[in-house]
Amino acid sequence: MNLRLSEDLRCNRKERWLWKYQNNPAGFWGEQGGMCYHRTFTQLSHDEAEDELRMISAGMKEYGVIPRTFIFSRNCVAHLDLLEKYKYICYRSYGDLIKNCMYIEKCGQLYNVHPSICINQHSNLLLLKKILDISIKKKLPFHIWFHFWNFGEDEKSISKTIKNLFIPFLYYAKEKQENRQLAFGTMLSAAEKFEKRFDL
């Protein structure tokens, strides 16, 4: 199961900062990846996109981090040649829960880790468990992602979603892991495992 509990460097032309998620009670780990969020990459010229990637690299270097995973704003993919130039290994593109949500594909020198589902306050716990069970049965990657601000309109509703949906789902997945039915990983670890498995 690929869980997007990551630390993204978010940058724009004036500001840079490291976005950090707190440790979660089920003990999962994450990775640090780059993300351009203020404009979609498809709206950027080649030079503008390179400027963004240059700022991301410089900003993360201040923290001793070299990003290898990239998240496109709104999953709008563009300028993959620049990701290769800046030594990224994988990225997330658009995914459709019904058609193409449980696989990894190689695109040039990069790996596209398709998103399976975005979790928000309206997600159904039973459905999430069933989708996870399908991914386990078929031995396919299950890549969930989320923004905590999509868990509710205020602190109380966000806490309620975390308590009633997010944490129970993580513990359900953790139980599967303890039974050796799945392994947790990040986009980067999934891409590296994929590469090793198929000797690409």
Nearest to 162 by CA among 174, 150, 172, 173: 150
State the pLDDT at residue 101: 64
Which pLDDT tens digit goes with each residue over 41-54?
899 999 999 999 99
Above 80 in pLDDT, residue 29?
no
Which of the given ranges, 111-115, 147-151, 167-171, 195-199, has the highest pLDDT on average? 167-171
Choose the most confident range, by mean pLDDT, from 4-18, 33-47, 51-65.
51-65
Beta strands 90-92 and 69-72 are parallel
Q: Could you tell me the pLDDT band of residue 169, with boundaries at 50, 70 and 90?
A: very high
pLDDT of residue 25: 42
CATH code of the domain in which 17 resides: 3.20.20
Angle at 78 (CA atoms; ends 77, 79), nearest 5 degrees? 140
Range of the domain at 111: 2-198
> Average per-residue pLDDT in the chain?
79
| Burial tier of 181 (Cβ tally within 10 Å: 0-12, 13-18, 19+) | middle
For residue range 95-134, list pLDDT tens digits in order: 666 665 677 888 899 998 887 788 899 999 999 999 999 9
DSSP 22: P
Note the pLDDT of residue 116: 77
- Reported confidence tier of residue 71, pLDDT bands at 50, 70, 90: confident
Please state the domain count of the chain: 1
Look up the pTM and report it. Answer: 0.75
